[in-house]
Amino acid sequence: MLNKLLVAALVSIAAFCYTPAHAQGASELAQWVAAPHRTPGNVARDGYRHPLEVLAFFGVRDASTVVEILPGSGGYYMEILAPYLKDKGLYIAANRDAAAPPQYLADHRKLLARLKAEPALYEKVVVTQFNADLHPIAPPGSADFVLTFRNLHNWVARNEIDGALRAFHKALKPGGVLGVVDHRGRADLPQEAQTKAGYVRQDVAIALIEKAGFKLAGTAEINANPRDTKDHPEGVWTLPPTYRLKDRDRAKYEAIGESDRFTLKFVKR
């Protein structure tokens, strides 16, 4: 009964993002968001991450070829997208390469094991390597969508952003969509003062991505959180779900919730 109510609620929400012509697709996607195979830890994040609204905003369809960058073994979006795309589309997990640090390689092995253990959901998933532009994340010009969630700040901090964007641009079809969600920095502080805290100014993100051959097609406040003051002692990792301070002031940060985030849609020029 609970799942039926959740599906109904998600379909109702999707009506704000989808036109009537896409109602069937919204219903199918909503069913995967509410599906029982999703891990409880991921479901607990839905109130902050709004997966149905985000995917509707980006325009993902069941026949799309979608590359997700660094889904990891947790697979928050993979749990939704891989089964949704299984019959008509294609889900590509662009994950770690052999140069990744040991903890990331261990997580990559967990991802591969998970895909193998759940063939009904993941047997058609294609895994590629991602490390800036060192590897093709998909055949050139083949992807309808490249999606990245809370990764941009790392590439900015490591000076890997230009290479990553080159890889995305090469993989996408002309007019293909790059969808980006990340921790939104303060507009009144320079980017350099916020990079170590994990925040990226929205205007800086847009400028970097447009310089790489993309055109901004839309912004959304789906993942906005005005409670996030962006001045936490351990940066964005002070907040859930990381809680880097552990039990110190945990109730305070739990009340804030996950970070304030921009949700940006670009098309390949």
Domains and CATH numbers, the chain: 39-268 (3.40.50.150)
Residue 222 CA to residue 179 CA, distance in Å, equals 13
Q: Max alpha carbon distance in the chain (Å)? A: 50
**pLDDT values of the chain reduced to their tens digit, one per residue, 269 residues:** 434 444 444 444 444 444 444 556 678 999 999 999 999 999 999 999 999 999 999 999 999 999 999 999 999 999 999 999 999 999 999 999 999 999 999 999 999 999 999 999 999 999 999 999 999 999 999 999 999 999 999 999 999 999 999 999 999 999 999 999 999 999 999 999 999 999 999 999 999 999 999 999 999 999 999 999 999 999 999 999 999 999 999 999 999 999 999 999 999 99
pLDDT at 12: 42
- The rounded Cα 70 to chain-centroid distance in angstroms is 9
Whole-Å CA distances, 34 to 6, 22, 195, 207, 251: 6, 18, 35, 36, 28
pLDDT at 20: 47
Angle between helices 202-211 and 161-171 (to 10 degrees): 60
Paired with 67 in beta bridges are 92, 146
Find out whether 137 and 167 touch, Cβ atoms under 8 Å. Answer: yes
Residue 91 CA to residue 210 CA, distance in Å, equals 25
pLDDT at 26: 78
